[in-house]
Amino acid sequence: MKRFDTFHPAALLLFYICILLLSMLSMDPVLLLASVCGSISFYCAAAYPRLSARSGLFFCVLFLLVTVTNPLFSHNGVTVLFYLNHQPVTKEAICCGAALGAMLLSVLYWCRTLQIFMTSDKLLYLFGRISPSLGLLLSMCLRFTPVFRRQYQNIHQVQKTLGYGGSDQPLDRIRCHVRSFGILVTWSMEHAIETADSMNGRGYGLGQRTAFSLFCWRLRDTLLTVFCLAATGGILACRAYGALHYYYYPAMTPHIWDAPHVICYSLVWLLMLSPVILEGVETLRWNYCRSAI
Amino acid sequence: MNKKIISCCLILLAAPLIIAMGVWMFQDRRYNLIILALVLVSMIPFFLSFEKRQRPTRRLMLIAVLTALSVASRFLFAEIPFFKPVTSIVIITGIYLGPEAGFLCGSFSALLSNFYFGQGPWTPFQMFVWGLVGFLSGLPSLLKNKDGRRMMEHPAALVLWGGFSGVIYSLVMDVWTTVSADSTFSWARYFSAITLSLPYTIVYGLSNIVFLLLLAKPLGKKLRRVMVKYGI
């Protein structure tokens, strides 16, 4: 059980909106470093037993690619390192590329954790609250997709037994797939009409419907919401007082350590590292409880 | 009616407001945030218009089935890489069930299939592009006497529109690639992104054409049969 699984979907959504907004807000290297550290460590904590080295490698390559290609498109900056095809390659452009890569990396990693925690049932709960008929449509599609996949396997098996698509010719196999798909379409439409009639028979569309859900708003959801809003508000306020305005061209802005900057950076680090701290505390507590048995 | 006009105006105002905020708050430097917000806002009217009107349950179910079919087809044709009939099914939905159903089918296909293939900041863009393709392919069938639908059913129209929608998909997704890798927009980067993705664009267009030619006739026939049989 992961700690973030137990939060209310609305609190979770707000948390992710704040985090993603801040990750894309500024090119400030301190903020981006915090976001990258927070997202990658949180992903490792969230996906712990099922970490894959291949996807990590892919993201490293992506980061390097963005870093290296930026100087090819941007020749701004005052510190020229060397010339490539008579075009200057500058230190600023490389640093800017690294910052862009870091931003991309952090957003992608936050989205990966979002996918772990914001499962379709939670999304459905949120969607269904705002818009009942869209929520209904979404839930039906979610149900139908695995049903159709299974039914397709059955149909395709039968078609093969009947002697279709058995040969090694690709065209023959494609034709068999299309044939099975056609059968699936007919079956699914008749099935859907039956479902619709059954829904009508049970009084769909008459007055208010309620939806069942297991989620309830607890104290920790309030705490998370207040923390997110306070931290984001604080960071934005600091931004209004001059923090997080970072420029790479023509020369990189030197870092100033005055009050708004220090407050802003500490808030950013606190917010970005909060998920992994929460997960870590939960894991420690779990291990402690288990060892106490 | 008054409420409707107000909500329309709010949405129409939202887009310039977001752009103005981008210029004022971020000194015109944070294109990735702004474009994401714009895409999300631009989808609201489509969803709102669906939510507002009461629809027969059978029609709703038909849209759900077609959406689920297009998502499932991404797995069913897993044997052949990059050749996916998703866009073709979205186009067929648009042609037979109208622009609104086309938009819903397209955007929900993107949202749902990304549950399996990975959600990310590109999800709203995919939702928007596929929705738009579905919407546009439904527009001609709004013409009187079903002339538009007959026109869209013609193989030549299918080939043209299938190839074109593959190109649109690639072009819009490349905008996202450029903006996400650059955070402002640069034409040089955009053109290089288009060139790099050219083989994929061609494969998308080709697979759309192939699947439209393969599926449009049988699927259209089945849809029409169900619609006549159950009076949808």
Judge if B83 and B127 occupy the same domain: yes
Say if the ipTM goes beyond 0.90: no
Read off the CATH number of the domain in which B170 is found. Answer: 1.10.1760.20
- Kindly identify which residue of chain B lies nearest to residue A119, measuring between CA atoms: B115
Longest CA pairwise span in chain B (Å) = 59
Which one-letter DSSP state was computed for residue A252? P
Specify whether B134 is located in the same domain as B156. yes
Q: Are residues B105 and B155 in the same domain?
A: yes
Residues B136, B71 within the same domain: yes
Regions of chain B short of the pLDDT cut 50: none
Nearest to A275 by CA among A10, A1, A19: A19
Residues B30 and B17 in one domain: yes
Q: Domain check: are B121 and B201 in the same one?
A: yes
Domain boundary among B13, B31, B50: B50
Which residues numbered 116-135 in B keep a CB inside 8 Å of some CB on A? 118-121
How many domains is chain B partitioned into structurally?
A: 2
Q: Residues B3, B39: one domain?
A: yes
- Residue B121 CA to residue A26 CA, distance in Å, equals 17
pLDDT at position A217 is: 92
Amino acid at A48: Y
Asked if residue B42 and residue B85 are part of one domain, the reply reads no
Nearest-angstrom CA–CA distance, B36 and B210: 32
Q: Do B108 and A138 touch (CB under 8 A)?
A: yes
CA atoms within 13 A on the CB side of A91: 6
What does the pLDDT look like over B108-117, one tens digit per residue?
A: 999 998 888 8
B96 shares contact with chain A (CB less than 8 Å) = no
Mutation for testing the B interface, residue in A116, A144, A200, A249 having most B CBs under 10 Å: A144
User: Strand, helix or coil at A104?
Assistant: helix
Residue environment code for B11-38, b if the CB has 16+ CB neighbours within 10 A, otherwise e: eeebeeebeeebeebbeebbbbbbbbbb
Same domain, B200 and B224: yes
Chain B nearest-CA distance from A130, in A, is 10
Q: Are residues B65 and B159 in the same domain?
A: yes
pLDDT tens for the 293 residues of chain A, in order: 577 888 999 999 999 999 998 988 888 899 999 999 999 999 988 887 777 788 889 999 989 988 888 888 877 777 888 888 788 888 888 898 899 899 989 999 999 899 889 888 888 888 888 888 888 888 889 889 999 999 999 999 999 898 887 777 877 887 888 888 889 999 999 988 998 999 888 888 776 777 778 888 999 999 999 999 999 999 999 988 888 888 887 778 888 888 889 999 999 999 999 999 988 888 888 888 888 87
Same domain for B103 and B154? yes
| Strand, helix or coil for residue A245 | coil
DSSP 8-state assignment for residue A74: -
Do both B80 and B127 map to the same domain? Answer: yes
| Chosen domain end from B50, B65, B84 | B50
Which domain does B213 fall in, by range? Answer: 55-230
> Do B113 and B123 meet the contact criterion of CB atoms below 8 Å apart?
no
Distance between CA atoms of A73 and B218, rounded to whole angstroms?
A: 49
Q: Residue B179: which H helix or E strand, with range?
A: helix B155-182
Nearest to A73 among B183, B188, B226 (CB): B188
d(CA B110, CA B116): 10
Out of A137, A174, A199, whose CB is closest to B104?
A137
